[in-house]
Structure 1
């Protein structure tokens, strides 16, 4: 579905209800959003304690468990599906739908992955597949990434049915497998191809956003991901006749050619290419960084100079990656003997490409920058689906900003471009603008995501659950 059909115009009053309602109404809405905590904790515990890592765990078991809960809440069999590719029996996915009263409105898709990164018990302080509450945190693999959102979405869908909520806009949910490793079947890609009706939507909410806490646990900002850079590896190859190492022939040395080409690539800066999210990010972040407030504000206002961009890039590698496509050498292999000139050398250059840029144009630029026609540059893998960054429209942002203002007064909402990758790369490419937002605030140390002793603050999880429940209603009522 083209992104220009993103969202049918919503009444301003509905979009801003949280900020315009009387205090008692807002309090009542928050109370309702936090109801049923015991049932949520049970669902969350079951999901975390179900090993869904590849290859030992099973997403299918996790999907079936949630499907059982949805059915018990009143969903008909035709509105729930556990979708499993027969060739990947443990990599199942769950789809569900709560039908809206206005079939003309494009649906809202709630998207989360239920697979997790593998975890070895011997390396962890606690059993990674036992949910442990300790010191104000939940510990366990997937407590943060991404079973916090998956459980919150499933919980919201269950409560909507139990409450008799009649949305105007259809709500769809997809809890999928295969996000964490390319060795598994990617559930989002599979569903888009094989069950397109289950995924068709005007826009989607996904992981990738969320709040940031300072070292004292104070909320600093609430991030909204709008777009992500495209992952692409390129293979650099140089071949030569070789020969005895006693013969110094620099014009015939493949390692020498490759070394110079890679040095050129490593030193090259691609041109600045601002996405809407990147522009908004720097504008909103300017007050948070006094030493860089001027150049950041200039970027946000569309008036930045090359000096402004240079100052921002030099201050933080992540900011540099937000401004432009980046490519760096990551692997090299060459030579066959210590006393012989090399006959072949290969290297890998990893690029994170600004959404919308052409992969072939990046390849051609790398070959040009390498500066030696004897070094060939090819795609290491087929390109990822091409997509553009979704637009930050008032229809999307107003409810997020209103709820953030109510729940975390004074905390700014800051859009951002992800320099990594989520399943949003598939939905964006399919014409479903996808936004990362959760209302879950994370510690600055990363909370052990993909590492040891993964955790999430109990308060952050419960706040995020309430936020996502209310945001989904704001978009669909």
Structure 2
């Protein structure tokens, strides 16, 4: 234990709220370039908290200001494969004028910690720090080695965070076979007798794309039938209104079976609208996992009102289900038409693992010990995480951020949303569950 540690006798539950608040107060907004503050201050904060309890964290800066922190805890049995716990410290930007509270204040109000990153994902960063610090202060080593990674740049694909470490420092993850991180482990209340905890075992692949249409430049006053803006706008409108067919993947089939059992119903995968109608606050999250998606997000053309431009461009956020990438691209091209040229801005494959094994058993037992009506079930995430990078190293990943949530909280709406917040009781619950999980993992 470090001589600088001044928190002897403090438990993880005691300090998790303050850790979360302090992390939120460090603005790590990621604008998709290098114009933001970066993650260096957060990396230094995390490194300090880990060093206080005797670890030797290292900071890796892939670009000025873009930094990640990694540390390793030696387990009782070094012959066992290691476990990776990773979280990102960057957040999406927040417009303070839209919020009812300062998004970087870390204010505690109405039983919640408020601020950008409260659920995505400085809550897990704080819970991980709280559990690790408590265990090391009390001399409780985990059964196996634990690698801790607090990463930069997840919100823009991980180029300067997870990807950088995997590509340039793979030795940091020597012996790691499994990992936990976002997005999963949160509760969905079915009834007083049953609370489901959704564990992420799969996530969609990503295609961020730039669309281009070339036309003939000319004077804005002339009749013009080769207008790049017109052609692109029509293609983007078709894409924005297009509905990709429902595809029930292996993970979604397992989710439906478990949900149906909890509800006492047989859910029909051919009538997913009826299924979604029963899901309340997680309807949006699950609904987006049932098909491929492609949403136009940016348009750009022209430089002067009386000049018809020779080119128009758009950006699209495309997501595809595991095993359906080729189908997605073929359907996308058919909708866009032959005049639209698309190029990848950032591409990541889909990942999926099975919901079984000792690590899953450890999740189940830890949740049940803290919530006797808990049942863990798998689900497919419509977005992406840094798990994609670690998949390159053959690491099996799960989304497991244990949070017991009030039924009325729109948790899915917290991600990248206005007035993002996490319940204080949920953070403390998460600390208890993670502590039990590490004993059994």
Scaled to the shorter chain, the TM-score interval is 0.7 to 0.9
State the shift of 1:144 in Å.
2.8
d(CA) in 2 for partners of 1:397 and 1:284? 15
* RMSD of aligned residue pairs (Cα, Å): 3.9
1:81-100 deviation digits (Å, cap 9, x = unpaired): 12223x32x22211111123
Q: Secondary structure at the match of 2:347?
A: coil
State the shift of 1:423 in Å.
1.9
- Distance verdict in 2 for CA 1:129–1:169, change over 3 Å: same
Match of 2:384 in 1: 421
- Distance verdict in 2 for CA 1:253–1:82, change over 3 Å: closer
State the shift of 1:271 in Å.
5.2
- Pick one of 374, 390, 397 that aligns with 1:434: 397
- Distance verdict in 2 for CA 1:186–1:288, change over 3 Å: farther
d(CA) in 2 for partners of 1:242 and 1:64? 52
Bigger fraction of residues in strand: 2
Count of residues in correspondence between the two structures: 420
- Distance verdict in 2 for CA 1:311–1:335, change over 3 Å: farther
State the shift of 1:391 in Å.
2.0
d(CA) in 2 for partners of 1:228 and 1:352? 9
Structure 1's unaligned 5+ residue stretches are: 1-33, 300-306
Match of 1:142 in 2: 117
Q: Secondary structure at the match of 2:351?
A: coil
State the shift of 1:215 in Å.
12
> Where in structure 2 are the equivalents of 1:394-413 lying within 5 Å?
394-413=357-376
Match of 2:342 in 1: 378
Q: Secondary structure at the match of 2:72?
A: strand
User: Is 1:91 equivalent to 2:66 in the alignment?
Assistant: yes
Structure 2's unaligned 5+ residue stretches are: 1-9
- Distance verdict in 2 for CA 1:52–1:287, change over 3 Å: same
d(CA) in 1 for partners of 2:299 and 2:37? 34
Match of 2:150 in 1: 175
State the shift of 1:206 in Å.
0.3
d(CA) in 1 for partners of 2:297 and 2:107? 38
State the shift of 1:196 in Å.
1.2
State the shift of 1:455 in Å.
1.9
- Distance verdict in 2 for CA 1:40–1:320, change over 3 Å: closer
User: Is 1:63 equivalent to 2:43 in the alignment?
Assistant: yes
Asked if the contact 2:206/2:350 (under 8 Å) is kept, the reply is no
Match of 2:432 in 1: 466
User: Is 1:222 equivalent to 2:216 in the alignment?
Assistant: no
State the shift of 1:120 in Å.
5.4
Match of 2:127 in 1: 152
Q: Secondary structure at the match of 2:394?
A: coil
User: Is 1:47 equivalent to 2:47 in the alignment?
Assistant: no
Asked if the contact 1:103/1:170 (under 8 Å) is kept, the reply is yes
User: Is 1:72 equivalent to 2:52 in the alignment?
Assistant: yes
For normalisation by structure 2, the TM-score amounts to: 0.79
User: Is 1:81 equivalent to 2:47 in the alignment?
Assistant: no
State the shift of 1:267 in Å.
6.3
Asked if the contact 1:176/1:188 (under 8 Å) is kept, the reply is yes
d(CA) in 1 for partners of 2:422 and 2:414? 9
Bigger fraction of residues in helix: 1
1:33-89 deviation digits (Å, cap 9, x = unpaired): x945334444444333333334554532232233233223223x3xx212223x32x
- Pick one of 324, 331, 334 that aligns with 1:365: 331
Asked if the contact 2:112/2:424 (under 8 Å) is kept, the reply is yes
Match of 1:233 in 2: 208
Quick check: which has more Rg, 1 or 2? Answer: 1
- Pick one of 294, 300, 315 that aligns with 1:327: 294
State the shift of 1:233 in Å.
3.4
d(CA) in 1 for partners of 2:133 and 2:244? 47
d(CA) in 1 for partners of 2:313 and 2:85? 42
For normalisation by structure 1, the TM-score amounts to: 0.74
- Distance verdict in 2 for CA 1:127–1:237, change over 3 Å: closer
- Distance verdict in 2 for CA 1:121–1:254, change over 3 Å: closer
Asked if the contact 1:214/1:444 (under 8 Å) is kept, the reply is no
Asked if the contact 2:298/2:314 (under 8 Å) is kept, the reply is yes
- Pick one of 63, 77, 80 that aligns with 1:105: 80
d(CA) in 1 for partners of 2:221 and 2:365? 72
State the shift of 1:110 in Å.
0.6
Asked if the contact 1:212/1:444 (under 8 Å) is kept, the reply is no
Asked if the contact 1:449/1:455 (under 8 Å) is kept, the reply is no
State the shift of 1:285 in Å.
1.9
d(CA) in 1 for partners of 2:425 and 2:216? 64
Q: Secondary structure at the match of 2:379?
A: strand
User: Is 1:283 equivalent to 2:281 in the alignment?
Assistant: no
d(CA) in 2 for partners of 1:124 and 1:335? 34
Asked if the contact 1:226/1:417 (under 8 Å) is kept, the reply is yes
State the shift of 1:142 in Å.
2.8
1:125-160 deviation digits (Å, cap 9, x = unpaired): 444443333332223333332221111112222233
> Where in structure 2 are the equivalents of 1:277-316 lying within 5 Å?
277-287=251-261, 293-294=265-266, 296=267, 298-299=268-269, 307-308=270-271
Q: Secondary structure at the match of 2:289?
A: helix
Asked if the contact 1:334/1:345 (under 8 Å) is kept, the reply is yes
Asked if the contact 2:292/2:321 (under 8 Å) is kept, the reply is yes
